[in-house]
Amino acid sequence: MIVVGGEALIDLVPLVEPPGALLPRPGGGPYNTALALGRLGASVAFCSRVSADGFGEGLLAGLRAAGVDLSLVQRGPEPTSLAVPSLAPDGSAAYGFYVEGTADRLFALPPALPPRARALALGTCSLVLEPGASAYDALLRRESGRGLLTLLDPNIRPALIADPAGYRERFLGRLPYVSVLKLSEEDADWLGGRAGDWLAAGPSAVVLTRGAAGLTVWTSDGAEYTAAARRVAVVDTIGAGDTVNAALLHRLAGAPDPGAVDWPDVLAYAAHAAGLTCTRAGCEPPYAAELGLSR
């Protein structure tokens, strides 16, 4: 089982017609990652605090339909967080947020994860918003200590980070507990580090997403591999990085020998899945059959 921890929120996606209209869509980096894993046929559980409001019910319904285990989900009466993406001409998105007093930021450290858990993924707003961020940090340290594969996706949202220097320091403090660090070029520029520095701090691999230039991985044994992006007609890039997370986890958590990863194959699989996500509005990750795979 792969456990994905972090926020579930609603993206208010702007429509071309009528001008100014917003379409509510399920979102949040961890939510999208869990959804994508379910669609790829992985055994996956979502670990979060979700509102009991109508948006929260809809978010859980989407995960349930993808086969995601919801037994680790906490519930609360607080409202669902909202994100408002603004789309650039190339389909890339920037975000504004409404997160004061919302349910997901009140996440509390759960008891030990199920014995069959093999991997834990964390990322995005859940790494920033307190008191939940501290609970997720404790979860990362605890589960790393008992041998789970851990993936961290900082997925930087500058609008949420009041103390950039403090966040960068906190990010570095997480790395000793991380197996795979996945981040975008924009994340890397904002954090101001390099793959070699991050590898020295603890991860066995750093995966960098580079948009139309594809994906690159650097590993702790000195290897470097790159996979080209799929050429597709891009509608938007919402959820593409989250789909990469899911593809990485699906391949790595199921590897018979984690020390002998076929990185070119893993990256090509992730690029294919992310490319399909970019052909659809909002985050609509592909199903296994669309990748030529059986569930």
Q: How far apart are CA 169 and CA 157, in angstroms?
A: 16
Neighbours of 189 (CB within 10 A): 11
Measured in degrees and rounded to the nearest 5, phi and psi for residue 272 equal: -60, -50
Q: Stretch 269-284: mean pLDDT, rounded?
A: 84
In this structure, are residues 214 and 243 in contact, taking their beta carbons and an 8 Å threshold? no
Q: Stretch 220-227: mean pLDDT, rounded?
A: 94
> What SS3 class is residue 260?
coil
Give the tokens for residue 263.
């990185």
pLDDT of residue 258: 54
Closest CA to 284 of 246, 244, 240: 240
Which of 82-91, 209-218, 225-234 tops mean pLDDT?
Answer: 209-218
Residue-wise pLDDT for 95-144, tens only, equals 789 999 999 999 999 998 999 999 999 999 999 999 999 999 999 999 99
Cα–Cα distances in Å, from 16 out to 20, 95, 233? 8, 17, 17
pLDDT of residue 266: 94
Closest CA to 225 of 188, 195, 190: 195
Residue-wise pLDDT for 167-211, tens only, equals 999 999 999 999 999 999 999 999 998 999 999 999 999 999 998
Q: How far apart are CA 125 and CA 120, in angstroms?
A: 16
Residue 295 burial by Cβ neighbours in a 10 Å radius (0-12, 13-18, 19+): exposed
The residue length of the chain stands at 295
In the block, which residue shows the tokens 């501290």? 134
Residue 93 — very low, low, confident or very high, per pLDDT cuts 50/70/90? low
pLDDT of residue 276: 87
β-bridge mates for residue 93, sequence order: 87
Q: What is the mean pLDDT of the chain?
A: 91
Residue 295 — very low, low, confident or very high, per pLDDT cuts 50/70/90? very low
Q: Stretch 236-263: mean pLDDT, rounded?
A: 84
